[in-house]
Amino acid sequence: MSLFIHNTLSRTKEVFAPLDTDHVRMYVCGPTVYDYAHIGNARPVVVFDVLSRLLRRLYPKLTYVRNITDVDDKINEASRLSGENIRSITERTAKAFHDDMLALGALPPDVEPRATDHIDQMIIMIETLIADGNAYEADGHVLFSVPSMAQYGQLARHSRDELIAGARVDVAPYKKDPCDFVLWKPSDADLPGWDSPWGRGRPGWHIECSAMAKVYLGETFDIHGGGQDLIFPHHENEMAQSRCANHSDIMAKYWMHNGYLMSEGEKMSKSLGNFYTVHDLLDEFPGQAIRLALLQTHYRQPQDFTKNSISEARRTLDKWYRIIGDGQNSHEDIPSGIIDALCDDLNTPKAIAELHKLAAQGQGGALKAGASIMGLMFQSAEDWAAWQPAASGALDAGVIDGLIVERTEARQNRDFDRSDEIRDELNAQGIVLEDGPDGTTWKYA
């Protein structure tokens, strides 16, 4: 079974043929660390986590690189507003990002380089671009010369003329061409800066990824991924820099982009305050339920993300965990239907439908195996059942168990008024009782 993936370069599904079948290499743009990751940031992390699991199964070796952007004007602004120093912001936010993504079941990438550790490589790359006539210094800035690259616009399918026609902002006076973009810019004394041949300054947004991809994956590699919003300008510019600096026809062979997320039917926006941070959602829902909710839509489709969809995913997982029960890690093969679905451009909704079929047939082992390649069902049924919302905890388990005993006695005496009263009381506190053949169990609603 071949893996097919949608390549943004061609806008079609293509057979995946790695440059080196012994070693697949993938780069995904990671977070700029100045604030908690919202659910829109989590989508590419989860999507490419599934892809990485699939690639590791299909090929002997994968190197998965996802950067951390820790130099950026948004970070500088956050520091200016809060007074917290930049290093503290980036360390704290990166840590929160790691915790949140782990809770979503995303494995760490093989390499997680930080921009500030690779300033030297960026400077070297910029020097090469200047030497070759692909970049120039002007007014303390270094700019990439877009007209120097004939194929600029290939990824986003924007011609240079179209870009100029559509421009909504004034062009900086030091630019030779309106489309030229910044590789290096000067920093004044209170901004982060590094010494360079062009004075003390800091890198532009795109050059870090070009430099780090080259260090860890080489001049060309297989897959470059990220959110759709990165196609232009970020990936277009990255590709232009890398190809010119490396004198190469390609940067990545396949470019993959996940679609946008809406929130409760509206586009996410800070002014509306309608975006969910992963951090907050994890107080309310188990991470796996959030992950399943994200995977319920194909990664290239737009998705309207709702709390209701997480609740639904959670009930689905409840059911699946019941089917698996205590059945330990049966080392069953991953069912072929699951692999086939994922090999068709990561069709996770179809793979999930396969899981439902396995569940309906009561095939717990196959269900668990199939879920595992999507990073689901990684907990024991016991741990899953033990999850509780952050706001809970008014009642301790001993009190609940005591009430269950009292209720069981009431039921044996056919005192159903008292029995229902106890259940209603617990229900009001978010505790759900379920009478089964082996007695009464409880869980958080």
For residue 325, state whether it binds RNA (rule: CB under 7 A).
no
For residue 435, state whether it binds RNA (rule: CB under 7 A).
yes
Least separation in angstroms between residue 133's CB and RNA is: 19
Least separation in angstroms between residue 204's CB and RNA is: 4
Cβ(203)–Cβ(119) below 8 Å: yes
Binding mask 355-374 for RNA (x = CB under 7 A): -xx--x--------------
CB burial class (10 A; 0-12, 13-18, 19+) of residue 420?
middle
Which tokens go with 200?
A: 């003390």
Q: Return the axis-axis angle of helices 348-360 and 364-372, rounded to nearest 10°.
A: 160
Task: Pick from 298, 367, 369, 426 the residue near RNA by CB under 7 A.
Answer: 298
Least separation in angstroms between residue 130's CB and RNA is: 17
Task: Pick from 92, 280, 411, 442 the residue near RNA by CB under 7 A.
Answer: 411
Cβ(122)–Cβ(60) below 8 Å: no
Task: Pick from 67, 237, 242, 258 the residue near RNA by CB under 7 A.
Answer: 237
For residue 146, state whether it binds RNA (rule: CB under 7 A).
yes
Stretch in the footprint of RNA (CB under 7 A) among 103-111, 151-159, 241-249, 372-380? 151-159
For residue 301, state whether it binds RNA (rule: CB under 7 A).
yes
Tell me how far apart the alpha carbons of residues 162 and 347 are, in angstroms, rounded to a whole number.
34
What residues from 56 to 85 belong to the interface with RNA (CB under 7 A)? 73
User: Which residue, among 19, 421, 436, 17, has the nearest Cα to 217 in the 3D structure?
Assistant: 19
Tell me how far apart the alpha carbons of residues 134 and 149 are, in angstroms, rounded to a whole number.
7
For residue 181, state whether it binds RNA (rule: CB under 7 A).
yes
Task: Pick from 162, 333, 383, 425 the residue near RNA by CB under 7 A.
Answer: 162
Which tokens go with 217?
A: 């994956």
Other C-beta atoms lying within 10 Å of the C-beta of residue 428: 8
Stretch in the footprint of RNA (CB under 7 A) among 57-65, 213-221, 344-352, 383-391? 344-352
For residue 270, state whether it binds RNA (rule: CB under 7 A).
no
Cβ(207)–Cβ(183) below 8 Å: yes
Tell me how far apart the alpha carbons of residues 78 and 73 are, in angstroms, rounded to a whole number.
8
Task: Pick from 140, 193, 233, 430 the residue near RNA by CB under 7 A.
Answer: 233
- The beta-carbon contacts of 200-206 under 8 Å, at least 24 apart in sequence, are 201/140, 202/71, 203/71, 203/115, 203/119, 203/122, 205/72, 205/234, 205/237, 206/181, 206/233, 206/234, 206/237, 206/238, 206/241
Least separation in angstroms between residue 401's CB and RNA is: 17
Cβ(282)–Cβ(290) below 8 Å: yes
Stretch in the footprint of RNA (CB under 7 A) among 124-132, 187-195, 224-232, 248-256? 224-232
Task: Pick from 312, 385, 395, 400 the residue near RNA by CB under 7 A.
Answer: 312
Smaller CB separation from RNA, 42 or 62: 42
Amino acid at 352: I
**How many residues are there in the chain?**
445
Least separation in angstroms between residue 168's CB and RNA is: 5
Q: Which residues here bind RNA, judged by CB under 7 A?
A: 11, 73, 146, 156-158, 160, 162-169, 172, 178-179, 181-182, 185, 204-206, 228-229, 231-234, 237, 259-260, 262, 267, 296-298, 300-304, 308-309, 312, 315-316, 319, 322, 344-345, 347, 349-350, 352-353, 356-357, 360, 411, 416, 419-420, 432-436
